[in-house]
Amino acid sequence: MGVPRLIFGAASFGMNFVNPEDAQEVLNYLKENNITHLDTAGRYPPTSPGRSEELLDHRGELEKSAIEKSINTSLQRMGVEQVNTLHIHWPDPETPLKDQAETLDSLHKTGKFKNLGVSNFQPDLLQEFLDICEANGYVKPTIYQGDYSAVNRGMEKKLLPILKKYGIAYNAFRVLASGFLSGKLTNGNPEGTRFDGEGPMNKFMQNLYNQESLHNALKELEETTGTLGITTIDAALRWAYYHSSLDTNNGIILGASSLTQIKSNIESISQGPLPQECLNTFELIWEKLEPKCQPPPSSTFLYFQPFVTAKAGVDTGLKNGLADEDFLPAAQPLVPLLQQPVGNQYHDLGCMQTLALFCGGYH
């Protein structure tokens, strides 16, 4: 079946890698290891949106004006006229799906991007979007970016068959479940992880992963990896790369907060496929977790976006059935983060109102 390509998630550029020299050191290492695809966005890093794209240059809504403004700003930051992939972070419930598709097609025809990618589209909505594109001759997405890990395999059942039918690649993020699969949260030592701190993103991650079923799964995995002499991180990375549903048409996005972490992740993968004993444990874990995966983490942003929009004063209701009231408490800590100002602008154009650009494949 083959293995997926590796993609570097550049969200930490401008936060952990704060100057061109830091960024260049990382880029040099990636090139040496044949990792030539980068994933960045106008909101990266969260603490200084746009800085990630600016460092790479040293090498609202999905309505027409908002899309054009966002992609032109991103292109300017990176110093390029075209990106390989324009990625829509999540669908916009306020703008008709046909209008979104039509505007994206017009930008494609003007040469702003080569490939269209989408993220956080529920399977039924993705099918509707594809039907619209086919009926009108619009550019169709060729890449889907989504959450995927050994403890979140919900995409395999309904989404993946659609992607395979249309030849759409799946680029997986959070293959380590935002660091949960390191075991630090379960073992009570989350210092230095995304689960450590009182910030909105920290609280969100705590609410998302601090669940008994996940902790039990991690403990089962630790028992197996301990007898095999490998870490849970090694096992999770190698499972995603060699044993998951991803093949050569797909990709794995690996983020990191340091060059040392990047090297460690690549070295883990280089150890090769896992022993059958470990694969058996992963299957048993998922059998127990699958019934509890409602809503799946891969739909995280889709579920809380209308709620966040309402809090931003942009909308007053939860529309189109996109929000799950049971999920709102986990999303609430993110409201202040997503309302951070950038100059004179607020994120309600680029994020609150559903547009974010993932310019993956920038060489």
Q: How far apart are CA 194 and CA 203, in angstroms?
A: 9
**Is 314 part of a structural domain of the chain?**
no
Q: What is the mean pLDDT of residues 51-65?
A: 46
**Cis peptide leading into 45, omega within 30 of 0?**
yes
- DSSP annotation of 150 reads T
Residue type, 79: G
Task: State the residue range of the domain holding 253.
Answer: 5-295
Kindly write down the DSSP assignment for every residue of 101-125, as one continuous string.
HHHHHHHHHTTSEEEEEEES--HHH
> What confidence tens digit (pLDDT) does each residue in 280-317 have?
999 999 999 998 775 443 333 333 333 333 333 333 23
Query: Pseudo-torsion of CA 334, 336, 338, 342, nearest 10°?
Result: -150
Count of structural domains within the chain: 1
User: Does residue 348 sit within a domain?
Assistant: no
pLDDT, tens only, 158-207: 999 999 999 999 999 899 998 899 999 988 888 878 888 777 777 878 88
Per residue in 71-94, pLDDT (tens digit) is 777 777 667 788 788 888 777 777
pTM of the model: 0.72
Could you tell me if residue 345 is inside a domain?
Answer: no
The closest alpha carbon to 172, from 188, 187, 150, 194, belongs to: 150
Q: Which of 167, 168, 82, 74 is nearest to 121 (CA)?
A: 168
Q: What CATH number does residue 185 fall under? A: 3.20.20.100
Mean pLDDT across 136-147? 95
Residue 362 domain flag: no
Give the span between the Cα atoms of 119 and 110, in whole angstroms. Answer: 23
pLDDT at residue number 7: 86
Instruction: Cis check for the bond before 20: say yes or no (omega within 30 of 0).
Output: no
Nearest to 145 by CA among 250, 62, 12: 250
Contact 104, 67 (CB under 8 A): yes
pLDDT at 62: 57
Residue pair 8/322 in contact (Cβ under 8 Å)? The answer is no
Does the residue 290 lie in any domain?
A: yes
SS3 content of the chain, % helix, strand, coil (to 5): 50, 15, 35
Q: Which stretch, 200-204, 218-222, 327-331, has highest mean pLDDT? A: 218-222
Q: What is the average pLDDT score of the chain?
A: 74
Query: Does residue 342 sit within a domain?
Result: no
Encoding tokens for residue 71?
Answer: 């992609």
84 part of a folded domain: yes
The residue type found at 199 is: G
- The pLDDT score that the predictor gives to residue 295 is 46
Q: pLDDT for 234-269, tens place per residue?
A: 999 999 999 999 999 999 998 777 788 888 999 999
Has residue 19 been placed in a domain?
yes
Burial of residue 272 (number of CB atoms within 10 Å: 0-12, 13-18, 19+):
exposed
Burial 69-81 (b: 16+ CB within 10 A, else e): ebbebbbebbebe
